Structure 1
Amino acid sequence: MLSRLISGSLGVLFATTVGVAGLTTVATPASADSAPGGEITRSEVLSRAQNWVTRQVKYNLTRASGTLYTDVEGDNRYGPDCSGLVSMAWHITANSGKGGNSTDDFEVWSQTEFLPSLHDLKPGDAILKNGHIELFARWKNPANHTQGAWTYSLNGTGNPDGNGWQEDWAKGPIANWRGQVGDESWSSMQNYRPIRYKKIVDDPAEAPRPLVDSQGTRLTDFDGDGRPDILGLGASGDDLWLIPNTSSSGSPSRGQSIQISSGWRTITKYWLADYDGDGRTDILGTQDPDKLFVWRNISTPGNPSVAPLVSLGTAWNTLAKLVIGDFTGDGKVDIGGVNASTGDQFWVVPNTSTPGNPSRGQSIPMTTGWSTITRFWAADYDRDGKTDLIGLQGTDQMFAWRNTATGGTPSFAPLANLGTGWSSLTKLVLGDFTGDGKVDIAGWTAWNADQLYVVPNTTSGTTLSRGQSIPMSTGWASITSYLVTDYDGDGKTDLLGVQGDDQMLTWRGTHSGGTPGFTALTSLGTAWSTISHIPTAQ
């Protein structure tokens, strides 16, 4: 069982954040946000509240003109106190002359209603008592409300300076720059009444996004310190965070979470790749899903940051099953995919970027006959320096296509058969798990996800092949998502996995001489349920 592997783990590191002055805020093109005083979705309410946390808004109860803070649009000004924060988050116009409603105003305001029970609270509602109000973010445990709630709040300390400023800052579920979090116990919540803004609406139902994209599970170095990091989107999908890697060889560890920017809510799919060829990992993302954008990485070690987005055009909904890799042989990562209507023809969209200037060329049609391929992976399977394609036909048979591109012209050799029986494995990941420098395929038993198998790469020259599956340890059934990288920097491929939805674990690779192996797990802390998606590379 997994519990038997816990020996030697690090102490739990809780996800907190440090303040970073001057972070670049990326204004992602978005569908229309709320109008002042109009209907507003729950996710936008939380995003607006998080904006004040990010901007380090400090508490002041005076509502003097010089103390008011703007909202994210900069069009409205609100008092930097508990009721001003809720007024701003709900985007209301009531009492705009004094910086929004007071707690007394909310008590009798016609646009709010009290809920029958605290259990009826949804994200974006509020809890109100005499003289104080907080925005409800979410339950700490949706299955057990008595474990309390995460909130957005500005509380004050009761010790103002001569201008009314108090040593308290806007806070939320993830700690602010002073280490403060918005946190209410179930017992403390009994002093509050649950209240709802009548114009708040539930977000449209969306297909759930997996924590990790199964097509690409690889982590890369984002802040430029030479160690692969974890990027993560907050629970609302609007704020982007970096969880830095602080490992040394043989000792996996992570640092405090750093918020990079907000405004990512409308991006539906992510890829990580050095798109402009400057040696840094950039972010690519689709919106609508017709548009594709790229955000150049301009980080320095310990200070993650991205440049404003660059559009790579529209009509991306005409392609499906996108893969990222150098398919033209010019050293730049291109984008490949099959036509969305039938899945039968493969296309390559060439990368025409120069460092600092992302761009793409005209799509190049390739061969047909791909409609039976249900999943693609991109990897240099034959170690010739070119990105090959690996594809699963139906659920049981695996093929690989060698990349034979030259001079900027993409091409692939005829398929090589990597055998059948692949339906017996699930959660497939790619990486060098045997220590021979070749990309292997690993997966877990499909019927219970409990035992790990490694399928070794036995390719020689241009002859693509695989060896017999190697059974590894059991006890993996509680791991829901996997990531692959050399996390501790010892030159061997490690595994990371999320246990349940809240704890991140890592297993150091110990493989050598063609024999796969992993150490006992190390914990990278809890509170990972605050991350809704981890962008990865292929």
Structure 2
Amino acid sequence: MVSAVSAAGDAAVPPSAVEGFAYPGAAKILADQGVTVKSGDGNIRIVSDCHSGENLLMVYSRITDPATPICFRATGPSGYLSLEIPKVYSIKGDDHTTKATLSTNGTVTQIDIPKNLFQPVGEGASPEGSAVLLELVTSGGPAATPVTSEYPAVGKINVGLEGRAGSRGCTATLVNPLWALTAAGCFTDNPASLTRGRPSATSTFTVGGAAIGIAEVVPQTGRDAALVRLDSLVPGVAPVKIATAAPVPGDSFRIPGFGRTAAGWAPANPRTVSHTVGAVSAIGIDSAPASGDSTLCAGDAGAPLLRTRGGTVEIAGVVSRSWQGGCLGEAPGGTGAVSTRVDDLGDWVKKALDLDWNTCIQYPPGTGRTLCGPILTKYLELGGPATVGIPTTDTTATPVQPGKYAHFASPGSNTANTSIYWSAATGAHLVTGGTRSVWADNGWENGWLGFPITEESPNLTGTRTGFQGGFVATHQPTAAASAHHYALDNIAVTAGDFTGDGHADAVTIDNDGYLWLHPATTGTTLGDPVLLWPSSGWKGITKITAGDFTGDGKTDLVAIWGDGQLQVYPGNANGTFQPSTALWGKPDSLYLYKDAKEIFAGDFTGDGKTDLGVLWNGGSLWLAPGNNTGRLDNGLDAIQMWPDNIFLNARQLIAGDHTGDGKTDMGVIWSSDGFWMQPGDGQGHITSGVKMWPDNSWSGARDAASADFDANGKPDVVSIWPDGTLHLYPDLKPL
């Protein structure tokens, strides 16, 4: 296949798809009409029939029949045409404001042509004059039709004044509010020679009807691709994401571009064509028009190869070259194109978009605040005005700790409620909403939380934002926020598949009374804790267990309230719970479980229903059989699991089939004798214990629970050690 950086002189390489503004069909016009047309912007076109319509510019010259003018049609609000017509003696204007540049006896002048009137020039103005018409420039025409496009982030680049010889035209796509992606060849005939910096010629990017200056070009070494930084932000236009997956032969792409068509030049709106991928190399993509579609033409260089993945439009490449067969001014011929891959340029894009502190913009332009460097980079990365909002401060140094910040009013707000903070150690990160309020209450960057180290990220029940010293969690739907240390001081734990993914998760209560979900990740590790309750309302509750008490196949949470009520929180299998109901609700013994020392859950009777085991303060061990109704006060007789009070010295009890015989066993962590397992008999009783761990180190554990975290059919054990941290032990079984 052809390289996207091949030399322009290689005969096997398609020509560049950059618009050079050469007048299409100039040789034929010279042969047919004796007029030399050179370059233009497509808005002043020569017409062969002066009677084809009203409102024409008419040029009278001695090189043709003096009674027959050479006619031009001007369209749009403005236009430019470079040409050469000798022996001109009169020009008649149209409805535009028109200026004509002439060389009269070697002197170049520009004159105004009155609207719809004749203006004598050359010998028409002076018998000794001999004028050559060099340029026509129009302005004041009808306002341009608003740009309408399926892809509003796609715009037009002009390098130099549009239509002038030596100027260049391309297509580019906004990839964040300050940056657009295009082809490096837009700025030079040799993309490999392009260096980073401001373009040598005044250049603009026009998108959404506004022309914005180009401040900097960042070429990609070895490929015909470049990022351009604009002089000001583009609000109100959603940028397009750059793809991360490679194209493959047979892929179909939509390509919107401002190139010529078979009959048109300088379109006001991008034309979109469909191409099918042929060969794909490490850096390039060969493509051809889909059945019945058109070739890519001059002006389409830099146009994006768009596809939709997961409902998101993304750019997989940018147009570099095209054979342009059948385009305006070109003979029929090849229709294939060569584009540059961009799917693997993530590192280059990130590096290019990382701005230093010397790079600043003011937003809104002229009246707004100034954002600089990494603060500006983060603002743009997160979507700029459309998502972060309007800056309410300049980029400002933090007062105590070394760093910088800027505050913003989020969309729809008139007051600052969002901030971006930066330090050399953490980089720049956004803090907003309730998280920002909690951080402020704890001293901003000068408090124990320090600077932010992550953005707010969603989880099962809310969000989490990381800071140097801890994190802030929010809980939906109230968005209540609270600050926490990374090492949670957990005091109680239970386990079960609370998220419905087939892997057990841990649920803990910390010493501040917050309830947490620790989702299983690999089966041998637990993920970041997720806040399960919007407040510290679990303070004082230290006895929890888990199982399917309602019989719906979902893991429920059971807790003993401080007054002794036994409550069940039915699980939703997505990390959330329904409101609690009484698991034991007899009026005469509502607070019965105030005398419970430990509770644990499992199918000890072998009927497929979750039972509740209770170690009472006096040391007796009983089982309340389950019936899948979410109630235990159902008339079923309690079962004494062990005949005496030996378990008075037990610290924690857990349940799981650790002997592998299909019957639920009871694990015991003794106050001084370590970790043992009491095998179940499948009828609600347990038998003599066997040791689970060779030493007595488990006697220091605060709490423990058994469940299958790695989904291999064997129970694992999660424990809380004296420092409040969680530890996971896969596939524990008796020694």
When the two structures are superposed, what TM-score results if normalisation uses the length of structure 1?
0.43
Rg comparison, structure with higher value: 2
Task: Kindly indicate whether structure 1 or structure 2 has the higher relative contact order, using CA contacts under 8 Å at least 6 residues apart.
Answer: 1
Query: Higher strand proportion, which one?
Result: 2
